[in-house]
Amino acid sequence: MANESAIAPPHASRGEIAEIVENLSAELDEVSAALTDTIHEHLDELDDDMRTWTLQSTRANLGVMVTLMREGADPRSVVAPPEAIGYAKEYVVRGLDFGLLQRAYRSAQGVFSGMILERLRQATDDPDHLADAMVFFNAWIFAWIEAIERQLTDVYMGEREQWVRGAAAMRAAEVRALLGGARVDVAEVSTRLGYDLDRFHVGYVVWNETAEDAPGGGHALFGEMEQVAAAVAESLGARSALTVAQGRHLACWAGRHEPQHLGDLRVPRGAGKGISVAAGTPAHGVEGFVLSHREALLARRVAQLRGDSRAARVTFPDLSLEALMVNDVDAARRFAERELGALAAADDATVRLASTLAVFLDEGASFVRAARRLGVHTNTVTYRVHRAEELLGHPVGERQLELRVALRLTRLVPADG
């Protein structure tokens, strides 16, 4: 039974409103994705790691809204879903202001209201019905937003108070200042961190791409990642690792007074399912601390773009060419498509030709060595290379540098479609 104090729909427009609510119920996933895109397009402070949290919170909020509308309940009676509470807490962990969370909700509110208006225009051509229904929806959504924000304010402030008191907050703040380029007293910061900055550092990132339930069960997951971080530090000859939680991943550093060798980096076999490590180049001092971390983030980004983000171990030197392009993926795609022409097609047969050509060039244009590496007959390699040349429109000896780069980039930025 509807709450008598609820914001009630106008009698004449109830049919159209009920139809909109049912359509929204059937389209929750699509609408949630669109609103998530809107939030991340409007708020530059939110990175790609935050997108999963945004999507889960948006999906849960929409589900609650549709249920309350269908039942005729007062929007002011809303209880914030766990995903929305987890999203607010994540803003605290990342050092993001509550005002940014409010902007996220307001951005989504504006686009959501536009979606409803468009659906109402399709549902009725009666201007009075349209106006009455839109007034109802706007009032209902505004009341719901106010109610949810009051609850999330309490959640955010309570979480922030606990976070500020913790040692993890101090460590995260010190690291953020270092990464942000702040001028610091190296000796004092080293003491506060319990980590000597006047050394060679390997910055690395530990993450779990398969952790679909991370917002609800993140503590156990971070425990596993901390264990992996410690094992990686040990493999690099460091006594311990400096770790800071950054969203869904751990930012880590292993320091030594002598340069480390990335070839020594090992991920323990017993690591949790889906846990991966991306490392930057060893470098010295505060500048090296920052540089190696940035390279680790780039290596992780390349691994994700290539689709092999579940690989146990990637390092920046192995991916440095691709890393040059990750900030402009569209430019990389255009370059690869321009150089490869028809050989950039995504069908299985053409991909096999391109892969064979890449191996052929890696093996010094040797048909024999390429055949041995691929485990096929030399004639097969010969045929595929000649067929690739036909698709390229020129011999593989021409523009070979550009060709080899383009072949590597096709893994990073596959052609559209």
pLDDT digits (tens, 9 = 90+) for 1-19: 344 455 766 665 677 778 8
For residues 312 and 212, membership in a common domain is answered with yes
Residue that finishes a domain, picked among 301, 323, 345: 323
For residues 202 and 145, membership in a common domain is answered with no
pLDDT for res 3? 45
How is residue 15 annotated by DSSP? H
The tally of domains found in the chain comes to: 3
Domain presence at residue 1: no
For residues 207 and 125, membership in a common domain is answered with no
Domain presence at residue 354: yes
Domain presence at residue 177: no
Residue that finishes a domain, picked among 296, 323, 350: 323
Residue that finishes a domain, picked among 130, 165, 200: 165
Domain presence at residue 104: yes
- For residue 135, give the CATH number of its domain: 1.10.490
pLDDT for res 4? 45
Residue 203 vs residues 5, 196, 288, 300, 353: alpha-carbon distances, Å:
57, 14, 9, 12, 37
> What DSSP element (H or E) covers 59?
helix 51-71
pLDDT for res 216? 44
pLDDT for res 25? 85
Candidates 347, 334, 366, 415; CA nearest to 357 is: 366
> What DSSP element (H or E) covers 206?
strand 200-208
Q: Which residues pair with 256 in a beta bridge?
A: 200
Q: Which amino acid type is present at position 400?
A: Q
pLDDT > 90: what percent of the chain?
43
pLDDT for res 1? 37
Tens digit of each residue's pLDDT (9 = 90 or more) over 233-247: 999 999 889 999 887
DSSP 239-285: S-EEEEEETTEEEEEEEESS---GGG----TTPPTTEEEEE---EEH
For residues 203 and 318, membership in a common domain is answered with yes
- For residue 242, give the CATH number of its domain: 3.30.70
For residues 62 and 144, membership in a common domain is answered with yes
For residues 309 and 347, membership in a common domain is answered with no
For residues 102 and 22, membership in a common domain is answered with yes
- For residue 335, give the CATH number of its domain: 1.10.10.2840
* CB-facing half-sphere around the CA of 97: CA atoms within 13 A: 6
Domain presence at residue 222: yes
Range of the domain at 58: 11-165
For residues 354 and 296, membership in a common domain is answered with no
Round to whole Å and give the CA distance between 347 and 7. Answer: 55
User: Model-level pTM?
Assistant: 0.55
Which ranges of the chain have pLDDT less than 50?
1-4, 212-217, 417
Q: Which residues pair with 207 in a beta bridge?
A: 249, 276
For residues 97 and 206, membership in a common domain is answered with no
Domain presence at residue 4: no
Domain presence at residue 6: no
pLDDT for res 131? 82
Domain presence at residue 280: yes
For residues 193 and 244, membership in a common domain is answered with yes
